[in-house]
């Protein structure tokens, strides 16, 4: 036996999370010019960062020898005001991934279970496995969450249900009626994590006032992030909104300084920059139309998406999908393969700037042509 053999079996069984390929890695591997490479693999904001947030973060550099405000006082006050919740209902996280992890650490233990959908965000099984709890994956319906089946999958041991809406990588959105029916029926002894990382990209007609549901459902936690529409993926800030008692437990477990001072300053300023979020939303809508039109013209099947990304299916077999992925890389376009999501024939592309969407479509056309 060596030391690592003593690590719990459930830890040794973990498959590491596969992030989107960084531009620098592709440049190293294929010797491409970095200016000719675009990354549409991690649902990052193609507009970059809010100028207000950028300025606030540069100013925050003056204070980085000091620990951050561990309570996140100012950011919580701003979130509280924006969303009409009390500050003691807020949990700040090092990205919303941190919130997902905290939920698992607070409510799961070996022998407990968590329910999530097939094709749902890969971090759910990961945080569940880290605790040694059982992950129950429920077959998707038309790539979306089958909330009725997920309700049926809840066992007496189940302590968490993860719902991503919109979901990544499928872009599917659960209907408000279905969500409310689920919340009404599921046991109050089960925490429902409603992951709304792409909330800011929802068209007006699909917006829902999910935060108001917190008053009715003390077992609900809503997670949001500054990584997507706010353009702050690199500084890692997300938050959860929940009942005070749930938030209190999660705040006890988190690291005392889990959100860094640059992130706190950036998120506070980004929250005020509604113009930037509106521009991000508008660019995404236009880009989504551009890409869906382009894919349709190429005869490529895609899953209609409510996020800032689109998953499409390459005809033929898995080998074809791999060839298209590789060809796109050769042409300097990084997208995301979805094998780990049980969608081995799909690739996911993030909506980019108009020029990036154009380059992607041209490169994809060529990649598909190479298959013949």
Kindly report the backbone phi and psi dihedral angles of residue 343, in degrees, each rounded to the nearest multiple of 5, phi listed first.
-130, 60
By C-beta, is 176 or 233 nearer to ligand PLP?
233
State the binding string over 84-103 for ligand PLP (x if CB under 6 A, else -): -----------xxx------
Q: Please give the structure tokens belonging to residue 366.
A: 């060529």
By C-beta, is 251 or 363 nearer to ligand PLP?
251
Alpha helices in the chain (DSSP H): 9-12, 23-30, 51-60, 73-83, 96-107, 123-131, 147-153, 176-185, 244-253, 261-272, 274-297, 318-330, 354-371
By C-beta, is 17 or 67 nearer to ligand PLP?
17
Q: Identify the residue among 101, 146, 195, 356 touching ligand PLP (CB under 6 A).
A: 195
Q: How far is the CB of 238 from ligand PLP (least distance, A)?
A: 4
Q: Please give the structure tokens belonging to residue 141.
A: 């319906």
By C-beta, is 68 or 240 nearer to ligand PLP?
240
Q: Does residue 170 interact with ligand PLP by CB under 6 A?
A: no
- Under DSSP, the state recorded for 141 is B
Q: How far is the CB of 136 from ligand PLP (least distance, A)?
A: 18
Q: How far is the CB of 267 from ligand PLP (least distance, A)?
A: 11
Q: Does residue 121 interact with ligand PLP by CB under 6 A?
A: yes
Q: Does residue 168 interact with ligand PLP by CB under 6 A?
A: yes
Q: Identify the residue among 133, 164, 183, 288 touching ligand PLP (CB under 6 A).
A: 164
In the chain, the N- to C-terminal Cα span, in Å, equals 52
Closest CA to 263 of 60, 49, 109: 60
Q: How far is the CB of 362 from ligand PLP (least distance, A)?
A: 27
Please spell the DSSP secondary structure of 24-35, one letter per residue: HHHHHHH---GG
Q: Identify the residue among 128, 190, 197, 211 touching ligand PLP (CB under 6 A).
A: 197
Closest CA to 295 of 309, 282, 281: 309
Long-range contact set of residues 351-354: C-beta below 8 Å, sequence gap at least 24: 351/40, 351/46, 351/283, 351/284, 351/287, 351/288, 351/291, 351/308, 351/309, 351/310, 352/38, 352/40, 352/46, 352/287, 353/46, 353/47, 353/283, 353/287, 354/286, 354/287, 354/290
Q: Which stretch binds ligand PLP (CB under 6 A): 23-31, 136-144, 222-230, 265-273?
A: 222-230
Applying CB under 6 A, the site for ligand PLP has a residue count of: 14
Q: Identify the residue among 45, 170, 227, 258 touching ligand PLP (CB under 6 A).
A: 227
Q: Identify the residue among 20, 135, 144, 238 touching ligand PLP (CB under 6 A).
A: 238
Q: Does residue 259 interact with ligand PLP by CB under 6 A?
A: no
Kindly report the backbone phi and psi dihedral angles of residue 167, in degrees, each rounded to the nearest multiple of 5, phi listed first.
-90, 150
Q: How far is CA 204 from CA 145, 208, 280, 282, in A?
A: 22, 9, 14, 12
Q: Identify the residue among 27, 233, 249, 340 touching ligand PLP (CB under 6 A).
A: 233
Q: Does residue 117 interact with ligand PLP by CB under 6 A?
A: no
State the binding string over 297-336 for ligand PLP (x if CB under 6 A, else -): ----------------------------------------
According to CB under 6 A, which residues from 67 to 86 bind ligand PLP?
A: none
Q: Please give the structure tokens belonging to residue 257.
A: 């300084």
Neighbours of 175 (CB within 10 A): 13
Peptide bond into 296 cis (omega under 30): no
Q: Identify the residue among 225, 251, 321, 331 touching ligand PLP (CB under 6 A).
A: 225
Residues at the site binding ligand PLP, with contacts judged by CB under 6 A: 43, 95-97, 121, 164, 168, 195, 197, 225, 227-228, 233, 238
């Amino acid at each position: 036996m060596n030391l690592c053999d003593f690590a719990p079996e459930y830890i040794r069984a973990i498959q590491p999370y596969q992030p989107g390929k960084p531009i620098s890695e592709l440049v190293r591997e294929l010797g491409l010019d970095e200016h000719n490479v675009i990354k549409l693999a991690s649902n990052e904001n193609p507009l970059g960062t809010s100028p207000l947030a950028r300025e606030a973060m540069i100013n925050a550099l003056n204070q980085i020898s000091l620990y951050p405000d561990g309570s996140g006082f100012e950011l919580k006050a701003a979130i509280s005001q924006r969303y009409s919740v009390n500050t003691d209902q807020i949990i700040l996280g090092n990205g919303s991934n941190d919130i997902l992890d905290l939920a698992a650490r607070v409510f799961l233990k070996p022998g407990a279970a968590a329910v999530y959908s097939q094709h749902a965000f890969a971090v759910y099984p990961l945080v569940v496995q880290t605790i040694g709890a059982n992950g129950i994956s429920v077959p998707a319906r038309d790539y979306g969450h089958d909330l009725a089946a997920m309700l049926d999958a809840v066992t007496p041991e189940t302590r968490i249900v993860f719902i991503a809406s919109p979901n990544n990588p499928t872009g599917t959105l659960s209907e408000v009626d279905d969500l409310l029916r689920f919340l009404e029926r599921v046991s109050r002894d089960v925490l429902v994590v409603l992951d709304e990382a792409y909330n800011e990209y929802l068209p007006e007609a699909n917006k829902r006032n999910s935060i108001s549901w917190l008053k009715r459902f003390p077992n609900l936690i809503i997670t949001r992030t500054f990584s997507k529409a706010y353009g702050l993926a690199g500084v890692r800030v997300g938050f959860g909104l929940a009942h005070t008692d749930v938030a209190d437990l999660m705040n006890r477990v988190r690291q005392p300084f889990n959100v860094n001072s640059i992130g706190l300053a950036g998120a506070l300023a980004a929250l005020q920059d509604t113009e930037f979020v509106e521009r991000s939303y508008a660019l995404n809508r236009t880009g989504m139309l551009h890409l869906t039109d382009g894919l349709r013209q190429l005869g490529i099947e895609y899953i209609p998406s409510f996020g800032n990304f689109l998953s499409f299916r390459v005809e033929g077999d898995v080998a074809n999908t791999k060839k298209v992925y590789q060809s796109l890389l050769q042409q300097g376009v990084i997208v995301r393969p979805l094998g780990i999501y049980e969608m081995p024939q799909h690739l996911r592309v993030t909506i980019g700037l108009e020029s990036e969407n154009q380059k992607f479509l041209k490169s994809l056309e060529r990649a598909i042509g190479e298959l013949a």
